[in-house]
Chain A
Amino acid sequence: MTIGGMTDLSGTDGVRGEEASRKELLRIEGLVTRFHTARGTVRAVDGVSFSIGSGEILGVVGESGCGKSVTSRSIMRLYDENKAAGHEGKVLLKGRNLLELSKSEMRNVRGNEIAMIFQDTLSSLNPVYTIGNQIAEAVRRRGGAGKKEARRRAVDLLGAVGIPDPERRFEEYPHQLSGGMRQRVMIAMALACEPSLLIADEPTTALDVTIQSQILQLIGSLQERYGMSIMLITHDLGVVAEVCTRVVVMYLGQIIEDTDVRTLFERPLHPYTHGLLRSMPKADRAREGKLESIPGVVPSLHAVPRGCRFAGRCEYADSKCLEEMPSLTAAGEGHQVRCWHYDRIGREWGNGA
């Protein structure tokens, strides 16, 4: 994968032994995640490869069940590997393959190098402890801080994520805060660890629109301030447009398009990406009829189509698409797409589709 033109932000931890052009923080190669279910083994993530540069905000886009959340949890190895899941491929964080680490080494990676925030803000916090206690605990896990110091740091962090009157808020329980405030608390907990990578799994999906943009702005500004990389999982292309620098589009466990944000909106190549873009509501366009949607449903992971996985729902699909699976091919500078007909399809988008 060649990705150029990325700006590296100062203030990141030095990545040793890397060339200067674009410091790669995380590189995933051929990641497969299998789940053993009653109906057989499924490959929820099927050969995913991408990378995140230092200080980059990568959007991972796709509809429910496409494997974007599974990818993030596989990076963190949050699945019970003995029973539920099996991994293949490589997850290289600063050159170290996380899939080969021992359990205790992996525990050190979690929270120290990678932190995660979740969609459901209410159940993401333990209801029996005050938010301050929970942040202080995260600070202490990072090590080096005594109880008082951790408490002070927690108050600072609450302030840093834009919670007014942090000293009072410290004493409040999760249910006393609004969803947006709780998401800020989650972000503060993640920041407590000073991670080099923050995985945000649909951080704004459960929030209302005005709060959404506040949280996104916060994430953007914290990224600049702390210089971490962010993997932002979302199904909302509006979110992607607002904060991301690069985008990976996933469909049924595979990456189908990988490009920078500008290209995604200006010259998307995959018909599925087109569908996603067309199904976005637009404020400036008069309401003529219904919102567009992609016809059909995502096939089950238990019965993955032989050819292109999107063929069944694609208006361009021909017999080749049904028979042979296209591979992820370079379609331009830092632009990859998994489609037999991307050339033609891309041109059509340009002609005002």
Chain B
Amino acid sequence: MSVVMHNHTASDRAAALNEARLQYRREQRRIAWRSFVRHRLAFAGSIIVFAVLLLAVFAPVIARFDPLAVDVANRLKGPDAMHWFGTDNFGRDTFSRVAYGARISMFVGISVALITGVLGLLIGLLASYFRRLDYALMRICDGLMAFPAILLAIAIVAAMGPKVGNVILALSVVYTPNVARAVRSVGLVVKEQTYVEALGSLGAGHARILFRHIAPNCLTPVIVQGTFIFADAIISEAALSFLGAGIPAPAASWGNILYDGKMYIFNAWWMVVFPGALLMLTVFGLNMAGDGMRDLLDPHTKDK
């Protein structure tokens, strides 16, 4: 009887504890969401990025034409009810091409942001924690940063061939040092906090201290840098494609649409203006989101 009683109260207590925890988390999420919405910059930027993301995901639904379908009869038509953004020199629908181009741009941007985030976090953490590794890793980063980003990317793509995967790889190589440096500088501060020493005094090993305790405290620069790298990667992909070292024709990317449009800039302005405007808007939105994220994640500017 008494055993049953005991079990009952213990499970009650566990349930109460669990309920308290869930409630607290819900409340935290609500507070985080509210401060995000209230931060106009972050919110507006995120809405823009989200809209472009929707355009990319639903391109096959939204686009009314095959982006590769050539229609010689309708070459270089201006924007009208049929072709919202006009047609290009092969009579392809520019709106469809821009929508499909958004897929490439967003895919490249997200992939590069994720890869550089993970790699940069890892390299930055190791460099900040192990002093011997620090020197080697940072000199490699310095070396990579010494190249103009676009030149290094062109070299990598030129060596490996113009494919989406290689563009992502090249841009990841180019941007990882930025994240690694930012993480390292935060990691060096976190490492000196007393709790790292306290963990050591509790017998925790290096891996546990570094990955379970220091890493979460270094996520802010990864998120902020990641957003900016997302934007930079989109610009760089466009630049690479514009230079012919990116996404190969006939696949549509904002960069190669601009490249095609360059020849007709005086008689078919829509070929350049629409993809250019969308590129600009996306990057603008990402940068706003990044700035907002920096404010929101920085404890010193909280409660604004």
Contact = CB atoms under 8 A, between A and B. Distances in A.
B217 A76 contact: no
Contacts of A115: 201-202
B17 interface: yes
Contact of B201 (A78, A123, A126, A127): A78
B202 A170 contact: no
B202 A141 contact: yes
Contacts of B213: 126, 129
Interface string A62-95: 0000000000000010100001000000000000
Nearest to B203: A111
B201 A111 contact: yes
Interface residues of B, number: 24
Interface of chain B: mostly helix, strand, loop or mixed: helix
A126 B24 CA distance: 19
Nearest to A103: B205
A116 interface: yes
Given A108-B203, A126-B217, A127-B217, A118 B194 contact: yes
B197 A118 contact: yes
Given A127-B217, A171-B20, A189 B202 contact: yes
Contact of B21 (A110, A127, A171, A186): A171
B195 interface: yes
Given A108-B203, A112-B203, A168 B14 contact: no
B198 interface: yes
A126 B203 contact: no
Nearest to B212: A137
A125 B194 CA distance: 8
Contacts of B17: 151, 155, 167, 170
Contacts of A124: 194-195, 198
Interface in A139-166: 141, 148, 151-152, 155
A186 B198 contact: yes
A116 B203 contact: no
Given A167-B20, A171-B21, A171-B24, A125 B201 contact: no
Interface residues of A, number: 37
A125 B20 contact: no
Contacts of A127: 217
B202 A125 contact: no
A120 B196 CA distance: 12
Interface in A97-133: 107-112, 114-118, 120, 123-129
Contacts of B165: none
B143 interface: no
B200 interface: yes
Contacts of A108: 203
A138 interface: yes
A118 B193 CA distance: 11
23 contacts: A78-B197, A78-B200, A110-B203, A111-B201, A111-B202, A115-B202, A116-B201, A123-B193, A123-B195, A124-B198, A125-B198, A126-B217, A127-B217, A141-B203, A152-B14, A155-B17, A167-B17, A170-B20, A170-B21, A171-B20, A171-B24, A193-B203, A199-B201
Interface of B: 10, 13-14, 16-17, 20-21, 24, 131, 193-195, 197-205, 213, 216-217
Interface of A: 76, 78, 83, 107-112, 114-118, 120, 123-129, 138, 141, 148, 151-152, 155, 167-168, 170-171, 186, 189-190, 193, 199
Q: Which 6 A-B pairs have the closest CB atoms?
A: A111-B203, A110-B203, A111-B202, A116-B201, A123-B194, A128-B216
